[in-house]
C-alpha cells in the first residue's frame, strides 16, 4: 500500500475526462496489465486483436522492442479503443492468471480513473461503465441494492439499462438512458399501487410529499419529451441524462423503502 493510501491523503479530483484517453491512461492500461501478466508478448496479442493490427514480426525481444511496439499502438489508437483494450486485457488476465489478478487489474485501473478525474470505472461483470460524481455513485448503488432487496427486478433492470446506455462509447445513448431511468420509476410506482397505468396517470396517487409529487410529474414530462419524442432540437445533454438517472434512482429508493421490505 502506498504512503498516500496508508495515511488517507488521497483526494478525489473532479471528473473532467469522458470522451478522451489521456496519455497517462494509455500508459496505465499497459503498465497495470504488465504488473499482472509479466509478458509484453501476451499483451501485444491482446492489443493487436482489439485494434486489428498485425504484430511486427521484426520485434522479438520483450524489452524494449515489443514493449515499445505496444506502447506505440496504444498511444496512437482512437480514444475509445483504449477502453476496449483495457476490457480485453481484463478478460485475458482472468482467463490466464485467475480471478485475483483480474481484481488487481480492475482495482488498479479504477484507482487511476479516480485519480486522473476520468469518468469511467470497471464494474463487476459489466466491463467499463459510466462513473459519475459521488452523489451519482451513491444514488445508483443504493437503488440497485434496495430494488434487489425488495424484489423489484424489472425496475432494477431498467436502471442497469439506463447506466449501460449512458456508458456507450464513443457516443452515449442519451435518449435511452432517459427513457430507462423513468421506466424504473414507473415500474416501482405501478408495483406500489398495483396499477398498469403510466406514471403520468398515477403519480398523483403515490401520496408523495410536496413538492416531490410535482417534481416527479415534471421529470416524467421531461422524459416523455426528450426520451421518446426526440428531435435534433430536443436532444438532451449527457449531464441532463446523468441528473435524471440520479434522481430516478433516488425516487425508486424512496418509494421502495417507504412501502417496506428494504
CA separation for the pair 134, 14 (Å, rounded): 10
Query: Rounded to 5, what percent of the chain is helix, strand, coil?
Result: 65, 5, 30
Bridge partners of 130, per DSSP, are: 120
Q: What local confidence, expressed as pLDDT, does residue 104 receive?
A: 97
Between CA 245 and CA 241 the distance in angstroms is: 6
Is residue 40 within 8 Å of residue 92, measured between CB atoms?
no
Answer yes or no: is pLDDT of 190 > 70.
Answer: yes
Domain ranges of the chain: 3-130, 134-258
Q: What are residue 121's DSSP bridge partners?
A: 129
pLDDT-derived band of residue 262, with 50, 70 and 90 as boundaries? very low
Lowest mean pLDDT among 35-49, 105-119, 156-170, 209-223: 209-223
Predicted confidence at residue 122, as pLDDT, reads 98
Q: Tens digit of pLDDT for each residue in 8-23? A: 777 789 999 999 999 9
Q: What is the mean pLDDT of residues 118-141?
A: 94
Mean pLDDT of the chain: 92
Q: Regarding the domain delimited by 134-258, which CATH topology (the fold level of the hierarchy) does it fall under?
A: 1.20.120
| SS3 of residue 75 by DSSP | helix
Contact assessment for residue 193 and residue 205, using Cβ atoms and an 8 Å cutoff: yes
Quote the percentage of the chain above a pLDDT of 90: 79
pLDDT of residue 240: 87
Report how far Cα 244 is from the mean position of its chain's Cα atoms: 15
Q: 122-126, 197-201, 210-214, 234-238: which has the minimum mean pLDDT?
A: 234-238
Q: Which residues contact 111 (CB under 8 A, 6 or more apart)?
A: none
- pLDDT band for 221, please (50, 70, 90 cuts): confident
Cα–Cα distance measured from residue 230 to residue 165, given in angstroms and rounded to the nearest whole number: 16
Of 13, 16, 11, 12, the C-alpha closest to 239 is 16
Look at residues 161, 189, 175, 205 and name the one whose alpha carbon lies nearest to residue 254: 189
pLDDT at residue 233 in the model: 58
Check: CB of residue 36 under 8 Å from CB of residue 11: no
Residue 93 has pLDDT above 60, yes or no: yes
- DSSP letter, residue 84: H
Q: Closest Cα partner for 89 from 25, 43, 48?
A: 43
> Are the C-beta atoms of residues 195 and 202 closer than 8 Å to each other?
yes
Q: Residue 202 pLDDT more than 80?
A: yes
Res. 47: pLDDT tops 60: yes
pLDDT above 80: residue 28:
yes
Q: Facing residues of 128 across strands?
A: 122
pLDDT tens profile 144-157: 999 999 999 999 99
pLDDT of residue 232 exceeding 90, the answer is no
**Number of H-type helices and E-type strands within the chain:** 12, 2
Amino acid at each position: 500500500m502506498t504512503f498516500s493510501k496508508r495515511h488517507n491523503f488521497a483526494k478525489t479530483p473532479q471528473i473532467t475526462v469522458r470522451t478522451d484517453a489521456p496519455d497517462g491512461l494509455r500508459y496505465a492500461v499497459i503498465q497495470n496489465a504488465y504488473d499482472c501478466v509479466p509478458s509484453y508478448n501476451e499483451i501485444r496479442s491482446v492489443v493487436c486483436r482489439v485494434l486489428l493490427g498485425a504484430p511486427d514480426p521484426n520485434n522479438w525481444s520483450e524489452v524494449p522492442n515489443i514493449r515499445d511496439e505496444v506502447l506505440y499502438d496504444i498511444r496512437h489508437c482512437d480514444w475509445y479503443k483504449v477502453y476496449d483494450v483495457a476490457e480485453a486485457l481484463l478478460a485475458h488476465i482472468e482467463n490466464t492468471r485467475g480471478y485475483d489478478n483480474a481484481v488487481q487489474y480492475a482495482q488498479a485501473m479504477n484507482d487511476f480513473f479516480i485519480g486522473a478525474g476520468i469518468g469511467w470505472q470497471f464494474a463487476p461483470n459489466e466491463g467499463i461503465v459510466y462513473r459519475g460524481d459521488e452523489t451519482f455513485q451513491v444514488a445508483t448503488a443504493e437503488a440497485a441494492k434496495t430494488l434487489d432487496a425488495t424484489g423489484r427486478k424489472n425496475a432494477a433492470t431498467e436502471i442497469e439499462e439506463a447506466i449501460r446506455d449512458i456508458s456507450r462509447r464513443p457516443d452515449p445513448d442519451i435518449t435511452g438512458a432517459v427513457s430507462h431511468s423513468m421506466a424504473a420509476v414507473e415500474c416501482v410506482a405501478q408495483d406500489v399501487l398495483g396499477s398498469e397505468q403510466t406514471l403520468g396517470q398515477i403519480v398523483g396517487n403515490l401520496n408523495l410529499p410536496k413538492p416531490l409529487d410535482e417534481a416527479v410529474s415534471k421529470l416524467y414530462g421531461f422524459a416523455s419529451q426528450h426520451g421518446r419524442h426526440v428531435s435534433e432540437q430536443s436532444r438532451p445533454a449527457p449531464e441532463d441524462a446523468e441528473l435524471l438517472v440520479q434522481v430516478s434512482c433516488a425516487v425508486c429508493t424512496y418509494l421502495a423503502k417507504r412501502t417496506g421490505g428494504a
